[in-house]
Structure 1
Amino acid sequence: MAAPASELARLVDRFDDVTVRDLAWLLFAPDLLQEGDVALARPLSSSAERDATLAWLQALDAAPQSLHDHARNPKLTRLGIYAESLIRYFLAHGPAARLIAANVPLRRQRRTIGECDFLLEAANGVRLHWELAVKFYLHIDDGDDDTSRAARLSDYVGPNLQDRFDLKHARLVTHQLGLTSRAEFAALGFEGPWRAQLFIKGRLFYHGLGGDRIEPAPEIGADHLRGWWLTASEWREARASPSDDKGDKRAWVVQPRMAWLASRRLDAAAAETLVSESAAIRTRLETTVAPTMIAAYVRDDTGGWKEESRGFIVPDGWPQEARAFAASAG
């Protein structure tokens, strides 16, 4: 039972530990895709499972060391692997489904042809095959003033222009979700039948601070999480705008990749340091040479700091390269 974007912060903010917050985000964040041709995973399939999981997370938040030991590996630098480790912990120790196996390789003539992310048994006895994808794409338009063209999955590109949503979608649907129906999987002896589902979370970023008005591609989930992106020049102009009435009351923070999941909270000491560095960060981003995710924090009613929004600053030449990459879809 994923939560609408408006409710997600309330669910996640009850937890203090960063790793527990990331796990809660994976479980409750809206799906990036609509339920349609692709069956979507439902990690919490009932109100009872939702309530039991929130209670379990609350207990884990009070004593998170076992989760840290499982997921906080200093050698672990890939966000997708980190997300997999969190879901594996939930399936192994949480109150909902039961983990049967994870990262199951399929081989043909000693060559790996795929790997099933998760094999599990739901509370009702149904055996499920989950493929996990956590993606962050920037929406790129065609560069003219005609906004009548509907968005397409190919308009969503990875910040480093090495990934595109239509390509990822095709790979997941035509290859990954079909692994448990292959003869190579049957030979492994896992008793079925298996129902394949896609567990897909993330955030999509739209051009401009008013990008929330852009109509997404029809395959995109209605409640998907949104962010914004600006070029370095647009960022510089936004900095100079008198409409930014929060001024020094807002802190800008560069988000390292491993902090791309749940929103963060800042205590007073951390916020004081970040506010003092915020101006330098904003200036440095005016000449960024690579897309950089940042978050804006504002002071809340308790005196702490909460995340207000998240976006990317991209080099001025990035949109032209991104349009070419999107157009290569044909």
Structure 2
Amino acid sequence: MTALEPAEPAAVLDALQGVLVDPIVRDLAWLLGSPSLLRGHPPAGELATVFETARECTATIDWLLELDSDPSALRQALAAARIIRLGRYAECLLGYFLGHGPAGRLVAANVPLRVAGRTIGECDFLVETASGRRLHWELAVKCYLHAGGARAELADYVGPSLQDRFDLKLAHLLEHQLPLSARQEFAALGHLGPWQPQMFVKGWLFYPFDEAPPVPPAVDPMHHRGFWVTRSDWTALCARRGSARWVVLPRLAWLAPRPPITNETAEAGGLSAADALAERFAQQPGPAMVAAFERDSSMQGHWREVQRGFVVPDEWPARARAYALSAA
């Protein structure tokens, strides 16, 4: 590959798999290199182009390795933002890369558009590339659970809290968010265009642990996958991974697979047996994301994440299916 050929973002993850140690730097690398949840929907919904050339991709790998050796500046930037939401966490990571990394230049972020004194939306990122392209990126990081059944529609992917659905998110992107930078009112803000709108949609899709539903054509087949299981079926799922230990993931750990865990950390409570988590689920009202760890044969004395999923209340599947079918 020459320096003038476009580069695949996945090369970042391929080069850094098992190398990065800091969990926040791992999340940033995952955000840049993980597959999109969606295929492109041109002309209105092109996918974001992170790297214009192979040279930018290689430079980003080197930059991430250096950042991993001393992530203090990144950590300080995140601490100053006082982040509690996953989407805001991803925004700050991507904004840090555009402001300090070797690919693309951040022109502006979170640009509000007001009409008659009312804010009608915000443009997430305005980016200028080395070749002079001016891009408008809309970022979305989502975790959707397939509600089951034989349909192959985006509406079948629902948020764990049943307040979000994949078809609604895509429609909002295509019909509202991405067209913002082409509006006459936006041009009056002084950010000279034209701006090329692109979707930056990352995350995980989770499927019933005992089903294999069809994937809609709009979904990228390379997307990151996990499982979901009811509390009643939790024991049956764990029996299939008898050697695994488990951890409940807090919301800001929902991006990249977690770093390897040492035997000492695992034994000190960093990982739990399946039955111990069952008691915890019984006391939790909603779904919980979990990760399975197994002993790492390539790193003696360590456990690595091998799978992740959601454990949902027993009544959740019926409610999720009703929510999915409400789109019909």
| TM-score normalised according to structure 2 size | 0.91
Instruction: Give the superposition deviation at 1:2.
Output: 3.0
Cα gap change, 1:223 to 1:110, in 2 (>3 Å): same
Instruction: Give the superposition deviation at 1:10.
Output: 5.9
> Hey, what does 1:29 align to over in structure 2?
34
Q: Which range is displaced more, 66-75 or 274-283? A: 274-283
Q: Would the aligned equivalents of 2:10 and 2:34 in 1 still touch at CA under 8 Å?
A: yes
Q: Which range is displaced more, 66-75 or 318-327? A: 66-75
**Superposed counterparts of 1:139-178, under 5 Å:** 139-142=146-149, 147=150, 149=151, 151-178=152-179
Q: Would the aligned equivalents of 2:13 and 2:29 in 1 still touch at CA under 8 Å?
A: no
> Hey, what does 1:272 align to over in structure 2?
267
The partner residue of 2:248 within 250, 254, 278 is 254
Provide Cα deviations, 1:160-216, integer angstroms capped at 9, x if missing partner.
0000000000001100000001111011011111100000100000001x55x4321
Q: Structure 2: which 5+ runs fail to align? A: 1-7
Q: Would the aligned equivalents of 1:23 and 1:87 in 2 still touch at CA under 8 Å?
A: yes
Q: Would the aligned equivalents of 1:236 and 1:286 in 2 still touch at CA under 8 Å?
A: no
Percent sequence identity over matched residues? 50
> Hey, what does 1:294 align to over in structure 2?
290
Cα gap change, 1:13 to 1:225, in 2 (>3 Å): same
Instruction: Give the superposition deviation at 1:45.
Output: 2.8
Instruction: Give the superposition deviation at 1:257.
Output: 0.2
**Superposed counterparts of 1:6-85, under 5 Å:** 8=13, 11-37=16-42, 38-73=45-80, 75-85=82-92
> Hey, what does 2:311 align to over in structure 1?
313
| Counterparts of 1:10 and 1:291, CA distance in 2 | 33
> Hey, what does 2:213 align to over in structure 1?
214
Count of residue correspondences: 315
Q: Would the aligned equivalents of 2:148 and 2:207 in 1 still touch at CA under 8 Å?
A: no
| Counterparts of 1:65 and 1:245, CA distance in 2 | 38
Q: Would the aligned equivalents of 2:15 and 2:61 in 1 still touch at CA under 8 Å?
A: no
Instruction: Give the superposition deviation at 1:3.
Output: 1.9
Q: Which amino acid aligns with 1:296?
A: A
| Counterparts of 2:97 and 2:160, CA distance in 1 | 30
- Given the alignment of the two structures, is residue 3 of structure 1 paired with residue 38 of structure 2, yes or no? no
Instruction: Give the superposition deviation at 1:75.
Output: 3.1
| Counterparts of 1:168 and 1:66, CA distance in 2 | 33
- SS of corresponding position for 2:47: coil
Instruction: Give the superposition deviation at 1:312.
Output: 0.4
Q: Would the aligned equivalents of 1:289 and 1:314 in 2 still touch at CA under 8 Å?
A: no
Q: Which amino acid aligns with 1:274?
A: G
Pairwise CA RMSD: 1.9
> Hey, what does 1:194 align to over in structure 2?
195
The partner residue of 1:112 within 101, 112, 119 is 119
| Counterparts of 2:159 and 2:176, CA distance in 1 | 21
